Amino acid sequence: MIKRLLLALALFIDPVLATVTQITGSLVDSAGNGVSGTACFRLPVNAIDTSLNRALSPLPVCFPVTNGTFPAFANLTPNDVIQPANTYYQVTVRNSSGALVFSANYVIPTGAGTFNIGLAIPTVVTTSNISFLNPPGLGLVNSFTNTNNFNAGAGNADIRAGDINEKRYACSLSVAYKFQTLGAAYADLPSTGGTVEVCPGHSETLTANLVLSKSYAGFQFTGPATITMGTFQVTKASGIHGAFIKGPAVPGTQVNGSALVKFAYTGTGNALAMGDSSADTKGLTIEYIDIDTGGGGANAIGLYITRTQNFFLNHVVTYCGSTAQVGITLDGTGNFTGDSVILNPYALACFSGIRLTGSGTGAGNDNVVSGGVLFATAAGGRALDFQDGAGNTVTNIDIEGAATAINFASNANVTGNVVSFWNAVNTTDVAFGALSSNNQVTALTGNPVATGLPGNANRVIWPGNFYNTASASTAASIAATTMVTPATATTYRFTAYPTLTVIGTSCTGTTTLALSAIYTDPNESVSNTTTLAAVNLAITGNGTVGHLPGGAANFAPLFLRAKANTPVQYSTTYTLGTGCSPGPSYQIFPALEPVN
């Protein structure tokens, strides 16, 4: 309800919904040069727009002026539909340093829907023709105080100097803004929370830490911005819930200089430090920003989240530039950091793009990561690093050019994590520590290089690492058929389901089928053939189409371990029963799956 009321107080309104007049014409200085800068219009008192029956605020409404020209969205409520009667607009134009270059008072009518301010005669405001006492600028006429041309900088953004209840505006481009820095605007928010809206093109250099100290408060960037942090940080203590830093909703996959919203950090600690181990924090949103620690110390970290649950990260780009830097760290010390979602993270040249850590079971637990790219880790780096964490699900992430793409540390608390990733040009795709357990990795590109297997039900699978292709129907033996050729030594479970497809003719004896696996043990140099068991396709007769009845009708599973880069094959031996002409036909459905 409050937000709807606040919107009603704005002077800048939708021309489709209300009576408005567009400001046109050209403002030039005494030398005939078009003025560039910021023009602000304000009513002298609170008023009512009778075309919509809503309140109008006396706070300034500002528009950029470029070479004397107003933007197409420069619309105002005309004075003849405003009550009380006889209002007017106080108009000022200032340069980027705040110097006044033009001022006048105007009564803006509905007219034909436009008001040419360049040709209009300013309104001479007197106490006899206006009901408001002591209006500023009595008898004011157009006045240019210098010939400065200046850059509006904000493009076509609506620049607002005033602030309304839970919203503040920050912009370094114009003194029309009450607040020139993020910290100043944030400090002025009510303790109950709110939003600092940051103008496009905003740029500032921090002179102190930017401390987020209010729950449900944060920053909404509306366009490109650069925050030069130096060694200062953006920090938030535990217990500050619902904080947010949001860039404009455009994927900021460009890094190191061309991102939409960039935080550039040159310190040695954590650029953005969210939460601490003393208490839980619920809710944190960071999206569409670039955190650049490329100029920072060897151990700098872009985003460090501690003991926080239910957070949301989206298109957070981290750019690193030193041997041990980390893009994002999830630290559960004190309880856990998790039950959260990370969408499309992007990390470039970091030792670790994402690291999960903590103390004991207080770790990075039960997070969902989807999409994104972890690219080109520093020497010896681990792109996705599970130092301490359980129950995390990572899907469809692209990891390329890493020393180790995915690392599961030797920690009993590193368990039950499931990862699917696109692997390319990594020295090692997966490394399992001795104490890690029940972690599963699916390499979507195939043929991953893995270390630390077998052990503790950890497993690596990939599209070419399964086999379930049915054989053709035949009444003969099947020659050696390659199922997989693993890139690393792999333990498999193998069996097959046989079915009778065509009965035999004139059979008086039993037709049997034996299934064999052909593979090379990692400790051997030649392949061996292991026969599972023979089953009876047809017992003293022609057989029956369908499944094979009886206790000896199925193949018992075989566990085998195959040497890297050697084929795992199957074959069958078909023994025709007495009198058959022809014998019964069969088909098998082999099933080979990795179990390590």
pTM passes above 0.95: no
Fold that domain 466-594 belongs to in CATH: Jelly Rolls (2.60.120)
Q: Give 4's pLDDT tier (boundaries 50, 70, 90).
A: very low
| 8 Å CB contact between 596 and 454 | yes
Which backbone phi and psi does 387 adopt, to 5 degrees? -80, -35
How far is residue 393's CA from residue 6's CA, in Å, rounded to a whole number?
42
Phi, psi of 79, deg, nearest 5? -65, -25
Average pLDDT over residues 48-75: 84
Mean pLDDT of the chain: 85
CATH 2.160.20.10 range(s) for the chain read 233-464
Structure confidence by residue, pLDDT tens digits, 347-377: 999 999 999 999 988 999 999 999 999 998 8
**129 pLDDT more than 70:** no
Task: Evaluate whether 483 touches 568 at the Cβ level (below 8 Å).
Answer: yes
Strand segments (E) across 363-417: 364-365, 368-370, 373-375, 382-386, 393-400, 404-408
CB 337, CB 308: distance < 8 Å: yes
User: Looking at the domain 233-464, which fold is it?
Assistant: Pectate Lyase C-like (2.160.20)
Model pLDDT, residue 64: 85
pLDDT digits (tens, 9 = 90+) for 435-447: 999 999 999 887 7
**C-alpha–C-alpha distance, residues 168 and 181, integer Å:** 11
- What pLDDT score does 589 carry? 94
Tokens 């953005």 sit on residue:
272
Residue 9, pLDDT above cutoff 70: no
CA dist 583 and 26 (Å) reads 98
The pLDDT tens digits of the residues spanning 174-216 come to: 776 789 999 999 999 999 999 999 988 899 999 999 999 999 9
Delimit the CATH 2.60.120 region(s) of the chain: 466-594
221-278 pLDDT per residue, tens: 988 999 999 999 999 999 999 999 999 876 544 444 445 899 999 999 999 999 999 9
Burial of 23 (0-12, 13-18, 19+ CB in 10 A): buried
HSE (side-chain half, CA atoms, 13 Å) at 281: 34
DSSP assigned state of 468 = -
pLDDT-derived band of residue 137, with 50, 70 and 90 as boundaries?
Answer: very low
